[in-house]
A and B are shown apart, each in its own frame.
Chain A
Amino acid sequence: MSIKTRMIKERVYFFLSYVSVGITLFILGSIIFYTFINGFRSWNLDFFLLPESSPLDPRQGIAHAIQGSVIVSFTAAALATPISILAAIYLSEYASDKIRGYISNILEIMASIPSIVVGIITYLLFVEPLRTFSAFAGSMALTIMMIPYMTRVCEDTFLSIGKEYREAGLALGLHKWKVSTYIVLRMGMRGIITGFALAFGRIFGETAPLLFTALGSRTFFTGFLNPVSSITLLIYEYSKSPFETWINIAWGAAALLMIIILFINILIRFVVGKRI
């Protein structure tokens, strides 16, 4: 191969990679751009403060959906977080290598169960017996989705802490559980927070698990045993509808959702990056 041919090949190679990056950025950029352009148009005070109304009513908003998302997600987070952390502690500090391997694999599989399947399972577990769609069931669905992911992240965090720190703790005459909570857990805080933020961001943007559990609602939150709305459910319903008002609101909700997710990601980077 002559030098000239080789140089041409290199140039072509570079060109292609630049083009690929360009295409990727363009596509992503377009999605974000298009969503924002269409979405921001719908943003006004009513949009944020008023709940759903008839499709012909020009004054309505997604306040109920925002409230619903927040309630369901935070409840799920409140339930999933301690369970995940404790499970992760068990896996990294107490389980034997064999058991840890089995359980970690199971968690991986659980994390990749399609979200709609999680929704159906939650329906069987929490909707049928209670004979009602509910915010509670919705929270449970999101909890089930959050646990495998957050447990794995926390487990990895704890495992990455060198064993010398545990030994130093034991050498001070501390019981193992103290070493696990006061040393390992504390040292892994940053990882836990990152894991939490990532997991939370995911469940906040989930739709399928809520379809047969929280169901959706036109009104504000009326109790855990009643259905409740969410931003994602709202986008799903409104964009299916033939009404222009609702479709515009759907765009606005989509833009809001993206902003929130973006915000969570930036927050992680900021919080984690600051404390060295």
Chain B
Amino acid sequence: MNIKVKIRNLNVWYGKKHVLKFFSLDIFENAVTAIIGPSGCGKTTLLRVINRLHETVPGARVDGKVYIDGINIYSDEVNPVEVRRRVGMIFQYPIVFPHLSIYKNVAIGLILNGYKDKEFVRKRVINSLKEVGLWNEVKDRLDDRATELSGGQKQRLAIARAIALRPEILLMDEPTSSLDPSSTARIESLIIRLKENYTIVLVTHLIQQAARVADYIAFLYDGRLIEYGPADEILKRPKKNLTERYLVREL
């Protein structure tokens, strides 16, 4: 398996708080890596470091190296905006731009990034909507306001918007935590389908979700990586006591 993202000796601060400590991790290509751990352990911060979103918050500081395909995205020559074009992100709450139609919501990333060919944009939008399984539900109302969609549909729309840019890596921050069980199940199936073409890093506080979709699981506690390995092993035979305690819900 190829390694897509190499994280080496990452230390991240938010103001005075040392959020991630001496963190190193390898993320494999075309696989789902789930990041689990109790609240406040740094999972979301880790995600936001990978697409250089963390530093947009005042008081944030990052030290260490993050290599994507061998290039350190934190080196001076790398433009953070460029990084974010190649790394997509899906947030906890389904975000649709309320002033835009369904079509525009998916197309906006392409349009504002300078893709002028209308045919090309249209094809991409349709493909993305098909990939997330929304096409049949919205094909007759592409010009309707995106706010009329249900929660699950909105989140799939957000995913379509992200993959319209054909990023290599998809970062998902608890993408189903505001959705009902059947929408959650749909998105989980989608994640498994998507990993064929994308490297997916999924933060979740639902251990069961990690059990269902992850190929690899990283367990974080208090800003440190406690254990990392194939999902099967972590779930059945965790080596570290902290991991064991978290999985049997003692933490």
Q: A171-B51, A173-B81 are in contact. Are A187 and B98 (CB under 8 A)?
A: yes
Per-residue contact bits, chain B 93-107, to A (CB 8 Å; 1 contact, 0 not): 101011100000000
Q: B82, A172: Cβ atoms under 8 Å? A: no
**A173-B93 in contact (CB<8A):** no
Tell me, yes or no, whether B88 is within 8 Å of chain A by CB. Answer: yes
> Does B136 touch A at the CB level, under 8 Å?
no
Q: Chain A contacts of B91 at CB under 8 A?
A: 164, 167-168, 171
The 8 Å CB contact of B99, one of A164, A172, A187, is A187
Q: Contact: B53 with A164, CB < 8 Å? A: no
In the complex, what residue of chain A is closest to B90 when comparing beta carbons?
Answer: A171
Question: With the chains together, A187 CA to B162 CA distance in Å?
Answer: 20
Do the beta carbons of A182 and B112 come within 8 Å of each other? yes
Q: In this assembly, does A189 line the interface, its C-beta being within 8 Å of a C-beta of chain B? A: yes
> In the docked arrangement, what's the CA distance between A146 and B202, Å?
49
Contact in complex: B165, A165 (CB < 8 Å): no
Whether the Cβ atoms of B112 and A178 lie closer than 8 Å is yes
Q: Closest CB of chain A to B72's CB: distance in Å?
A: 18
A171 touches B89 (CB 8 A): yes
Interface residues on A, range: 10 to 19
Interface SS majority for chain A: helix
Output the residue of A170, A171, A186 with the most chain B CB within 10 A: A171
Instruction: From A173, A175, A187, name the one whose CB has the most chain B CB atoms within 10 angstroms.
Output: A173
- Given B82, B93, B98, B162, which contacts A171 in the complex, CB threshold below 8 Å? B162
Are the C-beta atoms of B97 and A173 separated by less than 8 Å? no
Instruction: Decide: A186 and B95 in contact? CB cutoff 8 A.
Output: no
Find out whether the CB atom of B113 lies under 8 angstroms from the CB atom of A172.
yes
A183: CB under 8 A from chain B?
A: yes
Contact for A168 among B56, B83, B85, B95, CB less than 8 A: B95
B113→A173 contact, CB < 8 A: yes
Contact B58 A96 (CB under 8 A): yes
Using known A-B contacts A165-B97, A186-B99, A187-B97, determine if residue A170 contacts B56 with beta carbons closer than 8 Å.
yes
Interface range on chain B (Cβ under 8 Å from partner):
20 to 34
Closest residue of B by beta carbon distance from A190? B99
Q: Knowing A164-B91, A178-B112, A182-B112 touch, does A173 contact B84 (C-beta < 8 A)?
A: yes
Query: Is residue B225 contacting chain A, with contact meaning CB distance below 8 A?
Result: no
User: In the bound complex, do residue A172 and residue B56 qualify as a contact, i.e. CB atoms below 8 Å apart?
Assistant: no
Q: Which of the residues A96, A165, A173, A175 comes within 8 Å of B109, measured between beta carbons?
A: A173
On whether the beta carbons of B84 and A171 are closer than 8 Å, the reply is yes
Binary CB contact string for chain A from 182 to 204 against chain B (1 if under 8 A, 0 otherwise)? 11001101000000000000000
Q: Tell yes or no: A174 within 8 A of B by CB.
A: yes
What chain A residues lie within 8 Å of B20 (beta carbons)?
none
> How many Å from the CB of B58 to the closest CB on chain A?
7
| Chain B nearest Cβ from A194, distance in angstroms | 15
| A174/B113 in contact, CB under 8 A | yes
Q: With an 8 A cutoff between CB atoms, is B43 at the interface? A: no
B158 to chain A, nearest CB (A): 8
Using a CB-CB cutoff of 8 Å, which residues 65-85 of chain B contact chain A?
Answer: 81-85
The interface residues of chain A lying within 8 Å CB-to-CB of B83 are 173
A172, A178, A186, A189 interface centre (most CB from chain B within 10 Å): A172
- Kindly state whether residue B218 has any CB partner on chain A within 8 Å: no
B99–A189 CB distance below 8 A: yes
Contact of A172 with B108 in the complex, beta carbons under 8 Å: yes
Q: In the complex where A168-B91, A187-B99 touch, is A173 in contact with B82 (Cβ < 8 A)?
A: yes
- Residues of chain B within 8 A (CB-CB) of A96 are 58
Report the separation of the CA atoms of residues A92 and B99 in the bound assembly, to the nearest whole angstrom: 20
Contacts of B86 in A (CB 8 A): 173
Are A172 and B98 in contact (CB-based, < 8 A)? Answer: no
A227-260 to B contact mask, C-beta < 8 Å, 1/0: 0000000000000000000000000000000000
A276 to chain B, nearest CB (A): 8
Q: Is the CB of B93 within 8 A of A170?
A: no
Other A-B pairs, 4, CB within 8 Å; known A168-B158, A172-B162, A173-B86: A171-B53, A172-B88, A173-B113, A174-B112
Q: Which residues of B contact A (CB under 8 A)?
A: 51, 53, 56, 58, 81-86, 88-89, 91, 93, 95, 97-99, 108-109, 112-113, 158, 161-162, 165
A contact residues vs B (CB 8 Å cutoff): 96, 164-165, 167-168, 170-175, 178, 182-183, 186-187, 189
Pairs A–B under 8 Å by Cβ, sample size 26: A96-B58, A165-B95, A167-B53, A167-B56, A168-B91, A168-B158, A170-B56, A171-B51, A171-B89, A171-B91, A172-B85, A172-B109, A172-B112, A173-B81, A173-B85, A173-B86, A173-B109, A173-B165, A174-B81, A174-B84, A174-B113, A175-B81, A182-B108, A187-B97, A187-B98, A187-B99
The 4 closest A-B pairs by CB, nearest first: A173-B85, A171-B89, A172-B109, A173-B84
